[in-house]
Structures are given as structure tokens and as C-alpha cells.
Amino acid sequence: MSPNADRHVVLSALGGALVAVSLFLAILIAIPYQFFPLMPPGIVSLRSLEERFLFTSASMVVMALVAVAQWDALALDSRDTSALGVLPIPRAVIVRTKFMAVAVLAIGVAVAWNLAPTLLRFVAVPSKLGVSLAGALRLTVAHGVVTLAAGAFGFLAVLALREVMAGIMGQARFQRISAAVQAALIVALVTALLLLPRAYTGVARNWLAQGGLRAKALPPLWFVGLHETLAGSVVDSLPRTRPPRFLAGADRDATDLYRSLWPRYHELALIGIAALTIVAVVTTAACMWNSRRLPVPVVRRPHEGGALRHGWRWIVTHAIAKTPLQQAGFFFTLQTLSRQVSHRVALASSFAVGLSLILITARGQLLEGANDVASLPLTILAGQSLLLASVLGGFRHVVSIPAELRASSTFSLAWPGDLAPYISGVKLAGWIALVLPTLGCLFIWHDTVLGARLAALHFGVGLVESTLLMETLFVRYRLVPFASGYVPSGELRSRGVVSAVALLCVSFALAWVERFALTATTGYLTLLVIMVGLSAAAMAVDRASRRPITPLDLDEPTTLPTQRLDLAR
């Protein structure tokens, strides 16, 4: 981060966002009960299953995401040994302090996320239901205990996975796959979190009533069962008065279904308690085993990589990035994206956002083909644009985050004065490392659904579309990628919703144009030519707006209305 950025402000913003989102969710859940105070107990009990599933799932996924985001900081590493190992501090003190810090992080995030829904639990019942003060207190305590337990399970599960893998494989082997495991977990967890608003309805009928392994294998249901075991009888045992006529049948059916699931609640509660206990014991044992001694730096033997590595370098230097500045931007980008945690987290999150948009918009059409081009589902064609825009938007964000501010002086010493070739190498690296694998994964899906011919044509549209997006995102970009200081701004918060709506509209508009163009060869070629022309126009605008060569300034100016001086008293 830039010296102009205040980490306390960033941390406060993150904490405030957690509280605000959970508060908004709690109020949103409580609104129907306040506008319909005569809702009968049977329907309330059945709706409560869905809402507890939502809250326990959200707590579990959020806490797991926190653990994955702090993947490398969950345990001691060689830097801790270098800084603290030489001091006269017992190893046990260092280890204990490290895990106390991790525990404080987990407890702080869990409380920030679950505090508002717990305090507002009594509001999420109809006012005319007649719940006593003791019953409301029981519902509140049960909600707090269950959501905190679910969050603890999510956090400990990730920590246990990391420590068990490190203990079995050893630090050297674990470091080789650590980044890939972290990225995969981020994609899975962010996708699950974004899809949660669509997945929590119908829990009783679609999951609990089906029984079997399907219900037992879903961790949030364990804690739903625990909640019902602790406080489900508060609402279910209320006297049944005569409900409104149009709700009499629904209330009777809901009551029968809810009460028929009581054995399953107890069974799931026992599974949840056992799972939480097991994961806590495994995590503690793995952490103690890996902390027997302070970690030492892993020294890797230098190797040339053989003919394949030499061939790759020859192709890059002779065909892709020919000038030294292009090569510097290209190779530095590849190294930074694979090694820096902050960059991996942002890229994996952007991929998860794009994947979630595809799943949300496609719904049941993910595997639906078409007999002819005219009947192609727009959701399948638009999915490529949604994913590409999300991934490239994430790439545009990560290039503004410096790899290491203390190393930025190297850029100042070697600065030649022309930024364009370096940015060109960065864009080439992003296109090869991110765009091509993304299009390859999409091609496999499209080949299964649309057939080889249409998948190949759609792949061609993706190539030129990604080029256009890349050039557009970097028009008038005058900072040094991965070197300039980064100051978080409020643009994402203020424009995020507008950008998402615009992305959906543009993606489906382009899908409609593409479907029309695929009906004839001339239309398809015309579409490609237009997109290539727009890319060339974006490049021309970027060249025309270049400034004269100026001294390199790697620190962004402050975006705050006032300057913080930090004068010592």
C-alpha cells in the first residue's frame, strides 16, 4: 500500500462492511414477520429452517474465507523464525502468541459478522405470535451459539486442511502446491457465498425431508439441526389459534412436516457437535505437531528446467515480448501473479464472481443445447463475456497493487522513461496466463453443449473480445504496474452495482448480436472485424494520450480531502 493509505482506515472499513452486510441481512429476514404479524406458528417454524440455514451457511463460508485469505499467516513461517528466533524468547511463547493472534482474528470476525443477526433474532418472529421473554431469550442465545459454532467449524476446517497437508507433505512440498490450493478454495468459497441467496429456500422439503446421505453431508444442516434441538420448541409448542382461512391448510401441512423432522434434527445436531469436536482436535494436534520446532527457510536448488523451459523462454523473447521492457513486464507479471498472496486472492475472487454470474444467469440451461443457431440460449453465449470481464477486471485491479513497495526503488534506478512497452508486456502476460486458460475451460463446456463447430466459433469471438477488453481497461493507464503505491478508493463501493448491471446488459446484448452473426459467415466475420477495429481504436486513443517522458513517481497522490501529518507530540 502507499504511505498515503491508512491501514486503520482499511481495517475499519472491512469491519464496518462485515457488520453492515450482516445487519442488512438480519433486517431483510425480519421484514416479512413485521409486515405479517398474524403468521401462524407452523409456517414460522418451517421458514425458520431456511433462515437458520442461510445464517449458518453464511457464517461458515465467511469464516472459511477469512482463513483462506490469511492462508500464509495462519502458522509460523521462516520470516517469524528470522525475526524472533534469534531473540531470547522461548519457542513455546512464540508459538502460543502466534496462535493467540490467529484466535483473536477468528473471534473478532465471527463476532462482527454474527452480532447483529443475533441481537435482532427476536425481531424475526411475528409480533402477534405470543413468544414469551424467556422464549425470545432462548431463540437469541441459540442463534448466537449455532452461528458462532458454524463459523468456528468453517475456520478450523481450513486451518486443519492447511496444517494436515503441511504435516504430511513437509514444508518444502507443501509450498509448491500451497498457492494452487488457496486459489481453488477461494473460488469455491466465494462462489458458494454468492450463490447462497438462491440456495437457501426449500431446505425442509428439498434437503431434510429427503433424508439419507444427502442431508447428512451438508455441514450447515448440522447446525440447523442443533438450533432446532436447542430452541425449535419455542415456536412449535405455541398454542394453535385459528389462523386466517387462506393459511389454515398451509399451516397444518407446515406443522406436520416440521414435526415429522424432529428425529432428524437430533441426528444432525449430534453430527454437528461431533464434527466440530473432531475438527478442533485435528487442528490442535496438527498445529502442535508442526510447531515442534520453528520453521526454517526452504532452500530450493536452482535448476534450469530443461529443454521445455528454454523453449518457452525462446518463444517469449523472439515471438511474444521482443523488447527488453516488454520482457521485463511479461516475466515480472507472471512471477508476481503466482507468488503474491494479495494478487492470488483478488484474481481467484474475480474468477469466482464471473463463475457465479454464469450459474445465476444460466440457471437450468447450463447443459441445454440447441437444434439450430437461432435457438441458442443467450445465457450460454453471455457466460463467456461475464467470465472474461470479471477475470480481466480483477487483473486490472491487481496490477495496481505493488508487489513490494520497498523494492520500487529498483524501478526508479532502471527507469528508461517510456512506460508503454512495459505495460504492453504486462498485458501480454495477463492475456496468456489468464485469458487463454479461461477460454480453454469455457471451450470444453461449449463443446459439450453446443458442439465443436459452434464452440470453435464462440472461442474466436472470445479471443477478439478479450483483446478489446484488455485494451479498453488499460486506456490512459499511466502508473507502473506492480510498482506504484496503491491507495484504496471508494469507487468500487459507489459504482459496483452500476458496473454489475452494465456488465449484464452489455454481455447479453453482445450475446444477441453474436447469435444473429452466427447465422451467416459474413455476419460472423463482420462481428470479428468490428471488434478488432474497436481494439485498434482503443490502442490509438491510448497512444494519442501519452504524456511526454517525465521522472518516475511511484507513489499515488492522496485521495483524501485532508492530509494526515502524523506529527509526534
Question: pLDDT tens digit string along 227-260?
Answer: 999 998 888 888 877 777 777 888 888 888 999 9
Greater confidence, 373 or 284? 284
Name every residue whose Cβ is closer than 8 Å to that of residue 530 and which is 6 or more positions away in sequence: none
Co-location of 286 and 323 in the same domain? no
The pLDDT value given to residue 150? 95
Highest mean pLDDT range out of 9-18, 55-64, 194-203, 416-425? Answer: 55-64
Co-location of 260 and 362 in the same domain? no
User: Which of 113-117, 148-152, 464-468, 551-555 is predicted with the least confidence, judged by mean pLDDT?
Assistant: 551-555
Co-location of 273 and 331 in the same domain? no
Report how far residue 533's alpha carbon sits from residue 522's, in angstroms, rounded to the nearest whole number: 16
The pLDDT value given to residue 566? 43
Co-location of 357 and 218 in the same domain? no
pLDDT of 520 strictly over 80: yes
pLDDT of 496 strictly over 70: no
Co-location of 528 and 418 in the same domain? yes
13: amino acid identity, one letter: A
pLDDT of 406 strictly over 70: no
pLDDT of 560 strictly over 50: no
pLDDT of 373 strictly over 90: no
The pLDDT value given to residue 325? 86
The pLDDT value given to residue 106? 93
Within a domain: 214: yes
Highest mean pLDDT range out of 282-296, 384-398, 403-417? Answer: 384-398
The pLDDT tens digits for 6-24 are 556 556 667 777 888 888 8
Mean of the pLDDT values across residues 293-321?
73
Given a contact cutoff of 8 angstroms between Cβ atoms, the answer to whether 68 and 186 are in contact is yes
Residue 503: which pLDDT band, with cuts at 50, 70 and 90?
confident
Within a domain: 499: yes
Given a contact cutoff of 8 angstroms between Cβ atoms, the answer to whether 204 and 50 are in contact is yes
User: Which of 157-171, 322-336, 548-562 is predicted with the least confidence, judged by mean pLDDT?
Assistant: 548-562
Q: Which domain holds residue 420?
A: 319-404+412-544
Given a contact cutoff of 8 angstroms between Cβ atoms, the answer to whether 31 and 124 are in contact is no
10 Å Cβ neighbour count for 20? 11
The pLDDT value given to residue 16? 77
Greater confidence, 396 or 362? 396
Co-location of 526 and 485 in the same domain? yes
Where are the alpha helices (H) located in 363-490, listed in sequence order?
378-398, 408-414, 420-430, 436-450, 452-473
pLDDT of 468 strictly over 60: yes
- Number of domains into which the chain is organized: 2
Greater confidence, 148 or 96? 148
Mean of the pLDDT values across residues 76-87?
76
Report how far residue 354's alpha carbon sits from residue 126's, in angstroms, rounded to the nearest whole number: 38
The pLDDT value given to residue 128? 81
Residue 129: which pLDDT band, with cuts at 50, 70 and 90?
confident
User: Which of 12-26, 316-330, 501-515, 532-546 is predicted with the least confidence, judged by mean pLDDT?
Assistant: 12-26
Greater confidence, 548 or 450? 450
Co-location of 384 and 263 in the same domain? no
The pLDDT value given to residue 162? 93
Within a domain: 93: yes
Within a domain: 455: yes
Co-location of 141 and 279 in the same domain? yes
Within a domain: 385: yes
The pLDDT value given to residue 569? 40
The pLDDT value given to residue 10? 59
Question: What integer best gives the mean pLDDT of the chain?
Answer: 83
Residue 303: which pLDDT band, with cuts at 50, 70 and 90?
low
Co-location of 482 and 536 in the same domain? yes
Co-location of 399 and 255 in the same domain? no
Q: Measure CA of the first residue to CA of the last residue in the chain; give whole Å.
A: 26
The pLDDT tens digits for 151-181 are 999 999 999 999 999 889 888 888 888 888 9
Co-location of 284 and 369 in the same domain? no
The pLDDT value given to residue 485? 67
Where are the alpha helices (H) located in 120-170, listed in sequence order?
133-169
Angle made by CA atoms 484, 485, 490, in degrees to the nearest 5:
120
Within a domain: 553: no
Report how far residue 45's alpha carbon sits from residue 180's, in angstroms, rounded to the nearest whole number: 42
Within a domain: 466: yes
Within a domain: 554: no
pLDDT of 490 strictly over 70: no
Co-location of 260 and 364 in the same domain? no
Report how far residue 486's alpha carbon sits from residue 3's, in angstroms, rounded to the nearest whole number: 9
